[in-house]
Amino acid sequence: MLWRNIPSTRSSRSVTLEITDEIMRAEVVAARGTLVAMGGRPLRPLNYEPGPWDPSSGRLEEFHVQTHWIEEAATCEPDLARWKAFRAAQIAVREDKARLFKHEQQILDYRTKHGLGGPIILHLEPGQQTKLIEWKEYQVFQHRQLAKKEAKAGSVLAKA
């Protein structure tokens, strides 16, 4: 994100912090907008209000708002990255009908195996299918990604 490289060249530190706060906020809101425009949904709503500074939080008062937006970006960026990875996989699977049919069957088998059930019919163009079907496809994509990470973590732990 752009705000990570903003130099402090202003003479007034408070003006620089206010400008930086606004840039950070705008970029987080834009990233969230990109996610939604791509058809994705954030895991949680964006918190626009940093609230009053709490001395026990361990944050410096002058960086309170920036820290808030850094934390919001930390939740937004992974959501967007996951959705982009899903979209790339979704497009790759739809390169030919045979591959799409196989993928559809794998999703159905996975959902049945895990008790998720329900019919699923995928279309060559992702925009042609309903949001519900898209979310069913995304759910299986996410489950598979997590299973890979768990297997990798298990193998690392077994070696230790």
pLDDT tens digits, 28-58: 889 899 988 988 888 888 888 887 877 787 7
Q: Are 137 and 117 in a shared domain? A: yes
Give the chain's domain count. 2
Q: Which residue range is the domain that position 81 belongs to?
A: 11-39+54-93
Q: Are 19 and 78 in a shared domain? A: yes
**Selection from 74, 88, 94 nearest residue 31 by Cα:** 74
Query: How many other CB atoms are found less than 10 A from the CB of residue 51?
Result: 9
Q: Are 77 and 106 in a shared domain? A: no
Cα-Cα-Cα-Cα torsion 69, 75, 81, 84, nearest 10 degrees, comes to -100
Q: Are 124 and 154 in a shared domain? A: yes
Domain membership flag for residue 61: yes
Domain membership flag for residue 144: yes
Q: Are 70 and 124 in a shared domain? A: no
In this prediction, residues 1-6 reach a mean pLDDT of 48
Domain membership flag for residue 23: yes
Domain membership flag for residue 29: yes
pTM of the full predicted structure?
Answer: 0.72
For 83, residues 6+ apart whose C-beta sits below 8 A from its C-beta are: 35, 38, 39, 40
Q: Is the pLDDT of residue 16 over 70?
A: no
C-alpha to C-alpha distance for 43 and 8, rounded to whole angstroms? 33
Q: Which two tokens stand for residue 13?
A: 């530190």
**Selection from 32, 109, 37, 27 nearest residue 75 by Cα:** 32
Domain membership flag for residue 110: yes
C-alpha to C-alpha distance for 80 and 35, rounded to whole angstroms? 5
Looking at residue 103, its pLDDT comes to 93
Cβ atoms of 35 and 42 closer than 8 Å: yes
Q: Are 76 and 141 in a shared domain? A: no
Q: Is the pLDDT of residue 1 over 60?
A: no
